[in-house]
Amino acid sequence: MKKYILPALKLTLVLVVLCAGIYPLFIAAVGRLAPGQGGGEKVVVNGKVVGYANIGQKFTDDKYFWSRPSAAGYNAANSAGSNKGPSNPDYLKDVQAHIDTFLAHNPGVDKKDIPAELVTYSGSGLDPNLSPAAAQIQVARVAAARHISPDKLKALVDRYTEGPLLGLFGPSKVNVLRLNVALDGMAGGKTAGQ
């Protein structure tokens, strides 16, 4: 063992410098050129930061499009999922409660049209997206709360729908924060937050 311990100690030191010192510093230097300068891309409205583009926010007001349920309460300093198993009876009650709440706030919506993502918790607790269907189904509520025509809102959701990667891979989605920022812009008679 004596024959091995000295090279082991020295090699550890050298590899620490290389892999933990130089490597992340180099990536940080390159990252300065990325959107958000490596600190995360922010969404700014009228010079004020209202959030991070990739981090979901809590929206509970009827006049905003809601985000998905979050086991973390959208606390971005402590991401969390529910970790509930698919057959857990307490969990299934929880889902039922989400369905009831959604129906109470969205009269006229048929239960069979509610996308399950609106009544189940995301993986990170910070999911920034909804499927286009999950946004469209909230249009009537938001339109009523804001006294805007539903058709205008439908068009807005369409405009903020991002298709699959290269048009080929993966699901379509809507960024809820960007959509709601645009919504506020509409109410003020101008578009913002693009």
Partner 1 sequence: MSQEIVGVAVTFLLTLLLAYPLGRYIAKVFKGDRTWLDFMAPLEKFIFRICGIDATKKMTWKEFLKAMLTINLVWFVYAFFMFLFQAHLPLNPDGNPNMTPDLSFNTAISFMVNCNLQDYSGETGVTYLTQLFVITFLQFVSAATGIACLIGVFNAMKEKTTTNLGNFWAILVKTTTRLLLPISIIIAVLLAFNGAPTSYAGKDTITTLQGDTVQVSRGPAAGMIAIKHLGTNGGGWFGQNSAHPLENPNYFTNMLEMVAQVLIPLAMIFALGFYIRKMKFAWVIFGVMTVGMLALVIPTMITEIHGNPLIAKMGVSQFNGATEGKEVRFGAAASGYWSIVTTIISTGSVNSMHDSSMALSGLMQLLGMLVNAFYGGCGVGILNYYIYIIITVFIAGLMVGRTPEFLGHKVEAREVKIAALVTLLSAFLIKGGTALACYYFVHHPNADWATKPSAWLNNPGYHGFSEMLYQYTSSNANNGSAFAGLNYNNPFWNITTGFAMILGRFLPIIGPVAIAGILAGKKYVPESAGTLRVDSLTFGVTTLAVIIIITALSYFPPLALGPIAEYLSMH
Q: For the window 67-86, what string marks contact with partner 1 as x by the rule CB under 8 A?
A: -x-----xxxxxxxxxxxxx
Among 62, 101, 105, 124, binds partner 1 (CB under 8 A): 124
Of the pair 4, 47, the CB lying nearest partner 1 is at 4
Least CB distance to partner 1 at residue 190 (A): 16
Query: In three state form, how does the secondary structure of 18-66 look?
Result: HHHHHHHHHHHHHHCCCHHHHCCCEEEECCEEEEECCCCCCCCCCCCCC
What span, in angstroms and rounded, lies between the C-alpha atoms of 59 and 52?
Answer: 14
Q: For the window 170-189, what string marks contact with partner 1 as x by the rule CB under 8 A?
A: xx-x---x--xx--x-----
Least CB distance to partner 1 at residue 194 (A): 15
Among 15, 145, 155, 187, binds partner 1 (CB under 8 A): 15
* Cα pseudo-dihedral 124, 128, 130, 135, rounded to 10: 140
Residue with the two structure tokens 């009537």: 140
Q: Please state the φ and ψ torsions of residue 132, each to the nearest 5 degrees.
A: -55, -40
State yes or no: residue 192 binds partner 1 (CB under 8 A): no
Angle, nearest 10°, between helix axes 176-187 and 150-159? 140
State yes or no: residue 191 binds partner 1 (CB under 8 A): no
Least CB distance to partner 1 at residue 150 (A): 20
